[in-house]
Amino acid sequence: MIVNFNRTVPVLFGPGAALRTGLKVKQLGVKKVLCVYDQGVKSAGIADKIVDNLKAAGIQVVIYDGVEVDPPDTNINNAAEMANTENVDGIVGVGGGSTMDTAKAINVLLTNPPPISRYYVGSGNEMKPGKVLVLLPTTAGTGSEVTPISVVSDTATHSKKGVIGPTATATLAIVDPELLVELPPKITAATGMDAFSHAVEALTSEGMNPMSDVLAEKAVELITQNLLKAVKDGSDLNARTNMSFASLIAGFAFTDSLTHWGHAIAHTIGAQFHIPHGVGCAVALPAVVEYVADAVPEKVWRVALAMGLSLPEDMPPLELGAAVAEAIRNLNRDVGIPSLKEFKVEEASLEQLPGAVLADDCAMFGPKRASAGQVLSMLKKAYEY
């Protein structure tokens, strides 16, 4: 089998790494930068630290602090217009997935004519390389700092669109676990399970990428061992560091192997019920693992081993899938991930979702196909546990 190893984003990793932002940005030849973040990152005091650090290195800073969850295309177009007026030669994005997606999309529009909708996946419009893009995640989940994807909420169609390619990829990721110590337990749990889903889905997708597999396995192991610690004690820097690392390598893993049914479901229920992405992933994943266990039993076995489960070696695939699914549900319970029912979702409303799940891009990458009925069955398992 011939596979791609496309992990191309250089990473500066470790506690305190964010202090090197100004130096790195300067070494990348940037003199004036657009710093992108949201109000949460600002109120946590993180944004000011990064801005001060950039300025101390002699970099001019223009600020865009209007990032919203599930970033709308209109915001991106407006921010890019400002960045182009200011003639910045680079972008620094500090925040979670929405911020990093926003920064990536703005970068597209620094060198390509607006609006961002011109560059949605499938548009066929080519993108010129962007400018310098440096991303600093403040959650351990999305992996967006190293992936080539920006997810944009299209206001015209009320759907999520991807902008994919080198222009939507960071020049450098700076991963500093210390930026996470103030992250609240709920967000820690949800984003952590997002990373866990990246790892498990990458490992069980049809990508069959040996590099992704080893990265994903390690990510599963680290998250199993550290997520609860980080949820219980946000200042546990060792747990935060392991989670940041796990998120990072899970991001690398799914860059090549891609996510599948779990993310297709999460995208759908996220759009329908406004459930945080990480929660959607977490509640979908156990059912997905059960569903694909007979297609990729050896991969599910590797998940089990990475989670530290002691299971009989001759366990039939379906039982194996059920056992791993239950272990994931336990992890969800331990870290406080609510079920769909707890989100006050009407069970009957799930009936309308399989079509959207099947239409999601991620649905292409599962190790086996699913009918609408099988998708509904997965959705129902996510409803209550």
Partner 1 sequence: MAKVYRVNVKTKAIGQEEIKEEYRLLGGRSLISKVLTDEVDPTCDPLGAGNKLIICTSLFAGTTVPAAHRLSVGGKSPLTGGIKEANSGGTAATYLARHNIKMIILEDLPVGDDWQLLKIGKDGTPELVPAADCAGLNNYALVEKLKERYGEAISVISIGTAGEMQYRNSTLQIIDAATGYPSRAAARGGLGSVMGSKKIKAVVIEKSASPHTFQYADKERYEAVRKKFVDITINNEGMTWLREIGTPAITDITGSTAILPFRNFSGRFNDKVGSIGAEEFLAKLKANGGKSGEPCQTGCVIHCSNRYNDANGEYLTSGLEYETIALCGSNCDIADLDAIARIDRLCDDFGIDTIETGVTIGVCMEAGKIPWGDGEAAAGLIEEMKAGSELGKILGQGALATGRALGVKRIPTVKGQAMAGYEPRNLKGTGVTYATSPMGADHTAGLTLEAPLDPLSPLGQAAVSSMLQPMFATADSLMCLFAWFSAASPETMPELMAGIYGGEWDFNKVIDVGRQSVLREKAFNTAAGFTAEDDRLPEFFLTERSPATGAVFDIKPLEIDGVLDY
CB 167 within 8 A of CB 128: yes
Task: Determine, following the binding rule CB under 8 A, whether residue 56 of this chain makes contact with partner 1.
Answer: yes
Give the residue from 194, 364, 356, 143 showing the smallest Cα distance to 265: 356
- Mark the segment that binds partner 1 (CB under 8 A) among 53-61, 100-108, 269-277, 318-326: 53-61
Of 28, 42, 57, 236, the residue at the interface with partner 1 (CB under 8 A) is 57
CB 98 within 8 A of CB 40: no
H helices present in the chain, as ranges: 21-27, 39-43, 46-56, 73-86, 97-111, 185-204, 210-232, 237-257, 261-273, 277-292, 297-306, 317-335, 354-359, 372-383
**What is the smallest separation between the CB atom of 134 and partner 1, expressed in angstroms?**
15
Positions in 161-190 near partner 1 (CB under 8 A): 176
118 sits near partner 1 (criterion: CB under 8 A): no
Nearer to partner 1, 51 or 106 (CB): 51
Minimal distance, residue 54 CB to partner 1, in Å: 11
Closest CA relative to residue 377, chosen from 341, 347, 342? 347
CB of 177 to partner 1, least distance (A): 12
For partner 1, which is the closer residue by CB, 101 or 176? 176
Nearest alpha carbon to residue 303 among 379, 200, 206, 175 = 200
Our finding on whether 20 is near partner 1 (CB under 8 A) is yes
From the list 56-64, 101-109, 127-135, 288-296, the region that binds partner 1 by CB under 8 A is 56-64
Of 23 and 214, which CB lies nearer to partner 1 in the complex structure? 23
User: In the complex with partner 1, which residue's Cβ is closer, 19 or 309?
Assistant: 19
Region of 16-24, 144-152, 245-253, 272-280 interacting with partner 1 (CB under 8 A): 16-24
Q: Identify which range of 15-23, 29-37, 283-291, 369-377 contacts partner 1 by CB under 8 A.
A: 15-23
By CB under 8 A, how many residues form the interface with partner 1?
14
Nearest-angstrom CA–CA distance, 103 and 67: 9
Residue 371 φ then ψ, to 5°: -85, 170
The DSSP secondary-structure symbol of 57 reads: T
Torsion angle defined by CA atoms of residues 337, 340, 342 and 344, in that order, rounded to the nearest 10 degrees? 150
CB 52, min distance to partner 1, A: 9
Q: Which of 9, 34, 53, 131 binds partner 1 (CB under 8 A)?
A: 53
Q: Of these, 9, 11, 18, 183, which contacts partner 1 (CB under 8 A)?
A: 18
- Residue recorded with tokens 């930068």: 33
Contact 293, 324 (CB under 8 A): yes
Q: What are phi and psi of 125, to 5 degrees?
A: -80, 130
> Binding residue for partner 1 (CB under 8 A) from 9, 11, 17, 222?
17
23 vs 237 by CB, closer to partner 1: 23
CA 304/CA 324 separation, integer angstroms: 6
Residues within the interface to partner 1 (CB under 8 A): 14, 16-20, 22-23, 26, 53, 56-58, 176
